[in-house]
A = this chain, B = another copy of it.
Amino acid sequence: MNDSACPLCESDGGLLVYRNQQWRIIQASEAGFPAFYRVVWNRHVAEFSDLSADERAVCINAVVTVEQILRSALQPTKINLAALGNAVPHLHWHVVARFDWDSHFPAPVWSAPQRAPDEAKVAALATRCLDVNRLIAEKMAH
**A79-112 vs B: 1/0 string, CB under 8 Å?**
1111111110100000000100000011110111
> Does A130 have its Cβ within 8 Å of any Cβ on chain B?
no
Copies in the complex: 2
Interface size class on chain A is 20 to 34
With A56-B64, A110-B107 as given contacts, are A46 and B86 in contact (CB-CB < 8 Å)?
A: no
Residue of B nearest to A47 (CB): B79
Residue of B nearest to A87 (CB): B106
* Contacting pair A85 B89 (CB below 8 A): no
- Complex-state Cα separation, A103 to B27, whole angstroms: 30
* Contacting pair A107 B86 (CB below 8 A): yes
**Residues of chain B contacted by A23 (CB below 8 angstroms):** none
With A49-B64, A49-B71, A71-B47 as given contacts, are A80 and B81 in contact (CB-CB < 8 Å)?
A: no
- With both chains docked as a complex, state the minimum distance between the C-beta of A90 and any C-beta of chain B, in angstroms: 11
Residue with the greatest number of chain B CB neighbours at <10 A, chosen from A48, A77, A107:
A48
